[in-house]
Structure 1
């Protein structure tokens, strides 16, 4: 793995403002941390805003130290703002991507542009939540916002986020829901807000709410999800957008859509990375991403012609074959480029289904049935891989007894694909509500199978997310699944595999009834987005080596047990448990004196013959302290996939020292809506 070069000598000397307050029209103040050149008052600079609910004081502090001082040293003001109701900011945060969040950000941008040290131009950068709201705020068109760098984000909050996948209820709805709940319940730092900290904390504990309840209440693509989804009208975004992501991440799909649909200047970059910034991401290779950002900012915030506007619209990493593993230091491959998307070199390779065979010849008119055990999918890993933890899919051979398998003969020539594989299938179901999972894998000569892509469709959503209807049992229909985008090379001698199943646990919760699907092979086909070699690939210059500002120091007081991921089966009852534990131990941040600890456990259990046995329980324990200030928090959420309802059970406790200030349990049920 390539080391990150630490830069301490910058073109401009840096000063830091540990905290300043940005006033909102309703009197609420947002907390900000700022890095800027020492001479910015006499030589103003553009501001680069990162706007998050993840606690600037101790949550994102490690990555902030790598990034924002680097920008400041190159003539920008790096600004990290805690959103309303989070970190050290006042007010309440009652959900994701609310209009209040955007309205506040418009005020922040206007305020930044007016500061004496700011040139009047503002850019937004962010990963995940910060990538989302960068796009959403761009659609609001604040005059001072000139460009966005959006990483690991989405244009579609319903069908390309943690909530629903092909209309199926995602298990991340619970996992991320519990994580977000825990973040929303944490206290501000008394050194920043003073004696008000306890009152502000109690406001959050009683007012920020449990956001996942909204996600279970809204099971269709309604106005709740349309809000904040720029795919509703791409023309709202006019400023330049640099969309960045990785194949191991959960959000590569939106990059292709935004390149195709946005009308303003845009650029896409997809590496092998997980859900991290590319200068310290895994799998590698890492790149000099901060230097790449400077080229973007210089072009669009300072008006300096860096040449980035003349480069290919898309740069993507085509992955070479790699044996399956839960974690990689690096993925071998090479960079390729497309001048636009869809690219001129992208074609189609059609592989037809015959009994257990994929071939270019049309298959036999044979009907095959599949009714998977509810445990099908356990080799899939996490929906959103972070790269630095072993969450990637493992050997797909373990799924062979759970799915219908279709394979090519050993390839006689290499195949490269870039884009979205699609599966068109004629099928019928014996139940009105059923799932279809399609997994594309690369099979090595000795039999190991690495997952390349997959797609999941709740067949009630077979027309689209607005025209939802149950299947008519026994009636055959033709449906199409768009699999997750990918960039992959298949070598001579390998096989291409398609696996079809009726469950994909624990990526999505099962439907209420065990369904059997009948697959009409002669009318079904896999369509691969094959890519021909392009002369443009040979003109690409290498990315610069990764570098950053100096990392933040921290002291490990108690080493945690780290990351653990396991699957176990009770041989008597048949219950299978998938469990992830992440214990970060206890650390101290010397620059603030904060001592913090965090541990979370995700546990998903199911019986292979009973979809209504599916239960997920997620727990977070967090603590923050310094001297007499000692705050502890514990949250637990359980989702039960019952026949007619989703049952959500939650419990929270919070302690100020030895005093328990909150101890609250709640149970809510939401009727299942064709899922």
Structure 2
């Protein structure tokens, strides 16, 4: 057991408002799995509360020390008992940690144990961010009628598509997380791993070594999860069948509250879960702020909204719930919007065409030769900003990237009016490459009057792909690229900018252009790319333009605005 996990849970050091209660803790409760492995859990019990409902959290990141706050400790003084269990093979629990692989079976066995306890009073909820939220999705459809509520943050029911973004390997995030989970149980591991794992991953990714060697280069030894996802990157491999719970989301009966961030690595798939619930007739709540995955700023909104959710569905007090299920922070406008649904009702899909001379506009395509660039995988185009698992994903100035010859930059004239873009963003491109195996990356930026070009959202597609359709017989393909969803105002006087390139290294593993196996490829082949923008090939970015209705707007309080929007976005 790591030193981190031996630390006591931190006390509540807040001035105690009326209604808050102290709590007691039962440590290391054994929970035996069907295969004989024993997992350990801690139980936090509010003192003097009769028949408190239970909140269950399952985590691979430890039960004690500062981790206790992320596990929901602050919910306990409000009258909920909390059970926090360490996942198999982590922080005192027996067995081997097989990331994502045992959460369904172990979770269902834990729920069966929970229901047999004399202190369980018939109702429970599930809570957690990231992996903790995934653990909840793994069991939610089979947890039984006793599961009355779920409040989940920056997470999804499946991480497969986040590992292979647009078909490409999310190298930086995958290697970072694998290194972190290998080091966290070491002495002081949870203190040092978050600070050093990303640095090690980036350094290793830039070494030029084959992907199969990078785990040893970063962590000093082979790391199971990293090697598993390298070896099982196609749907036919079957590895993901027992790790993907997106197909069960529509069967979940418990009310679900979701919180995400515009710059979070899991946002597109969290929104897919939301849409699945809506299609099944449910009314989940959704909050999206200007946050990234490890952004501490979403901690307080997560707690506040989870308390309101659990009070409503476990205690029968709905007074804290907002009227509209969807709450979005619009960057650039610096205000919250409230809507009935996602995407916001009344949004129109606007095609902004790529123009010859590297222009961009809503007017139609014009006759002109294709724009071209050369991509060399031996010297890949880097990524500046954008979603990553650890570290900051705040928008940054992309002008250094735009000076590279392997990045096409299409820019609109200054906007005459504000343009609110809220919803899913996509690119519809007509392209041709002299290699069958290549990538196309599309990025949307906001250019301020002083020239700063800050990334708003991005996405990519690795070819060959079902999302690429031949057009004629001359090798031109029509490709559909999904970018991250966004909620952003392009202010009057600003310009809209679109990048088209073929690399975002090291966030995405470089495409060597040869079609060799992902893990062992070493030969790099430069590629010539063409992007067409004529009437027969009207390449465009598709923006969801939202009307600004006064009743939807809730300006952020001054202090909250300062915290949320320090970058001016």
TM range (shorter): 0.7 to 0.9
Distance change in 2, residues 1:473/1:136 (3 Å): farther
Q: CA deviation at 1:545?
A: 8.7
Matched, 1:298 2:311: yes
| Alpha-carbon displacement from aligned partner over 1:301-347 (angstroms, at most 9, x marks no partner) | 22333362x72221110001xxxxxxxxxxx7111022012321311
| Alpha-carbon displacement from aligned partner over 1:471-530 (angstroms, at most 9, x marks no partner) | 999500211111011111111111000011011111111112322221111221111011
Contact 1:353 1:359 in 2 (8 A): yes
Matched, 1:76 2:80: yes
Distance change in 2, residues 1:457/1:184 (3 Å): farther
Distance change in 2, residues 1:134/1:372 (3 Å): same
1:323 is aligned to: none
2:143 is aligned to: 141
| Alpha-carbon displacement from aligned partner over 1:57-105 (angstroms, at most 9, x marks no partner) | 4xxx314247644222111112211011110111222x2222x321111
Higher share in helix = 2
Equivalent in 226, 244, 266 of residue 212 of structure 1: 226
| Alpha-carbon displacement from aligned partner over 1:426-445 (angstroms, at most 9, x marks no partner) | 11110010100101000112
Distance in 1 between residues matched to 2:42 and 2:505, nearest whole Å: 41
Distance change in 2, residues 1:266/1:477 (3 Å): same
Distance change in 2, residues 1:499/1:140 (3 Å): same
Instruction: Give the secondary structure class of the aligned counterpart of 2:274.
Output: helix
Is 352-361 or 288-297 further displaced after alignment? 288-297
Distance change in 2, residues 1:153/1:390 (3 Å): closer
Equivalent in 233, 246, 269 of residue 254 of structure 1: 269
Where in structure 2 are the equivalents of 1:405-416 lying within 5 Å? 405-416=409-420
Cα RMSD for the two superposed structures = 3.2
1:121 is aligned to: 123
Distance change in 2, residues 1:67/1:132 (3 Å): closer
Structure 1, gaps ≥5 residues long: 189-207, 321-331, 547-675
Q: CA deviation at 1:350?
A: 1.5
Instruction: Give the secondary structure class of the aligned counterpart of 1:272.
Output: strand
Matched, 1:265 2:283: yes
Distance change in 2, residues 1:431/1:474 (3 Å): farther
Distance in 1 between residues matched to 2:399 and 2:13, nearest whole Å: 40
Is 521-530 or 218-227 further displaced after alignment? 218-227
Matched, 1:448 2:452: yes
| Alpha-carbon displacement from aligned partner over 1:336-392 (angstroms, at most 9, x marks no partner) | 022012321311222111110111122223311122354555342363255xx5453
Q: CA deviation at 1:23?
A: 2.5
Structure 2, gaps ≥5 residues long: 1-11, 190-221, 514-525, 562-569
Distance in 1 between residues matched to 2:230 and 2:115, nearest whole Å: 39
TM-score by length of 2: 0.80
Distance change in 2, residues 1:307/1:535 (3 Å): farther
2:175 is aligned to: 174
Q: CA deviation at 1:129?
A: 0.4
Contact 2:445 2:453 in 1 (8 A): yes
Contact 2:330 2:489 in 1 (8 A): yes
Distance change in 2, residues 1:349/1:491 (3 Å): same
Q: CA deviation at 1:218?
A: 0.7
Distance in 1 between residues matched to 2:273 and 2:134, nearest whole Å: 13
Q: CA deviation at 1:249?
A: 1.8
Distance in 1 between residues matched to 2:392 and 2:344, nearest whole Å: 33
Q: CA deviation at 1:398?
A: 0.8
2:491 is aligned to: 491
Distance in 2 between residues matched to 1:251 and 1:417, nearest whole Å: 20
Instruction: Give the secondary structure class of the aligned counterpart of 1:78.
Output: strand
Distance in 2 between residues matched to 1:490 and 1:354, nearest whole Å: 20
Distance in 2 between residues matched to 1:20 and 1:89, nearest whole Å: 10
Higher share in strand = 1
Contact 1:423 1:481 in 2 (8 A): yes
Q: CA deviation at 1:209?
A: 6.4
Distance in 2 between residues matched to 1:125 and 1:183, nearest whole Å: 22
